[in-house]
Homo-oligomer: A and B are copies of this chain.
Amino acid sequence: MKSIITRYKQNPILNPEDMPFDCFAVYNGGAVKIGNEYILMVRAEDSKRKSHAWVARSSNGVDFTPDPEAVKFVAEDMETYQKYAADSWYDPRINVVEDKYYITYAAAGKHGCRVGLGKTTDFKIVEHVSFPLHVQNRNGVLFPEKIDGMYVLLHRPDVNGGGSMWISRSPDLKYWGDTEVVTPKRSGLWDSIKIGAGTPPIKTDAGWLVIIHAVCGNCAGNYYTMGSVLLDLENPGKMIGRSAGCIMRPEADYEQTGFVPNVIFPTGAILEDDGEVKIYYGAADNYECMATASIEDLIKSCKN
């Protein structure tokens, strides 16, 4: 389909064989640019299909070198922590909030899956901060600044296999409330089963831009596309606009074939000085990829 998004020609930027361990799949990476260094924190599955968070670094945003080891998650009380995150850490996002680096991820343990929230300085060790809300929830991303004195989180609770994008606020990253739907799924459309962040919000004059994933169904199962949402700067619980349709669909070989065919899943976005947005996304739950769009086009996509 026609798209405002251009795939990087040498996609995937990370393949399983690029990783320094028995890697089954590498995808859904959070992204940040610090000075001239690009950092990805990807979901890296081993051949047992256990997910780890793994960092890769680059000087140009496309040629990445993985760290020798997985990210370590630590908590003051590891016994309690592991009740909720012993099984895997997946789909990590890198959130820059007031110059600090927070990792949001899906924490899977024996009681289900929930949003995990940690902080890091070196992207090797993530210190536990909290598990916001309860189980049956994931795809958490933080806004880059406090709004009305509150930290703000987007997340996507699971409701009978579907889910909308919700928002919660917190004075301290530990206690969360004012939880409401910000972008509901809609029956019969491209976002009929699930819609959620996506990338951490990017501040623009027009509003908070969030590149989102959306899921509709077909005879083969779930079909994952990419879309965009614009939220009000002062009250991000108010949606200004959502792309009329998806802005990108699985079309490349590495998106249409792999562990889960027909999945694209954006998890990181870096706004460059020239207005280009590098979008990092997982393809087919198997590969890490990159595509670009202009910030103007992304904003415009939410307004039609």
Contacts and interface: CB of A to CB of B under 8 A. Distances in A.
A24 to B, nearest CB: 24
Interface string A256-271: 0000000000000000
Contacts of A159: 111-112, 135-136
Nearest to A164: B111
Interface stretch (A8-16, A174-182, A243-251): A174-182
Contacts of A132: 177
B184 A174 contact: no
B158 A111 contact: no
Nearest to A136: B136
A23 B133 CA distance: 36
Contact of A175 (B84, B137, B171): B171
A205 B209 CA distance: 55
A120 interface: no
Interface of A: 80, 83-84, 111-112, 130-137, 155, 157-160, 164, 166, 168-171, 174-181, 184
24 contacts: A80-B180, A83-B181, A84-B180, A111-B159, A111-B164, A111-B184, A112-B160, A131-B179, A132-B177, A134-B155, A134-B168, A134-B179, A135-B157, A135-B159, A136-B136, A136-B157, A136-B159, A171-B175, A174-B177, A174-B178, A175-B175, A175-B176, A175-B178, A176-B176
